[in-house]
Amino acid sequence: MRLTAFTDYSLRVLTYLALRPERRTTIAEIALAFGISEGHLMKVVHFLGRNGLLDNVRGKGGGLALARPPEAINIGAVVRLTEADAMPAECFDRDNNTCVITPACQLRKALADAVRAFYAVLEAHTLADLVVQRRSLAKILSIPVETVPMTRARSR
């Protein structure tokens, strides 16, 4: 299953913010770190804020921060939220399915099983799991290492 760019960018935003829990960050900082358009990130950030994952504050002293601790943000839940009704094949779309073999085909069942397994694996991870290599990630993203807190013990 291939994730949409929207989901990819959502996970990148959350990862970046998890590395800097002590301060607010701007869309411009995240865009620069990942080489992503600010326009694309504005949509992502607005969506994540509207869905309770980010605390978005406008104006002077504003910026972005996680609305919950990284340990409380489940990756499977984020992907389900951002992918909405992603369908791995046309036969999953009851309204627009034109595949003539759907009534006898077993591919739909196999794909449904695969999607369930995909989400089951993602649901076993939190945002905290994605940032265990804090210092390495900070270096790659050009975040001053001294501003990145040490990793806390993993709790699931």
Could you tell me the pTM of the whole model? Answer: 0.84
Q: How far apart are CA 26 and CA 104, in angstroms?
A: 52
Q: Mind listing the pLDDT tens digit for each residue in 2-58?
A: 889 999 999 999 999 999 888 899 999 999 999 999 999 999 999 999 999 999 988
Bridge partners (DSSP) listed for residue 74: 126
pLDDT above 70 (res 154): no
CB–CB of 149/138 below 8 Å? no
**Domains in the chain with CATH codes:** 5-147 (1.10.10.10)
At residue 126, the pLDDT reads 98
pLDDT above 50 (res 128): yes
CB–CB of 10/78 below 8 Å? yes
Q: Mind listing the pLDDT tens digit for each residue in 54-90?
A: 999 888 878 999 999 999 999 999 999 999 877 666 6
At residue 90, the pLDDT reads 67
Q: Two tokens at 25?
A: 């960050």
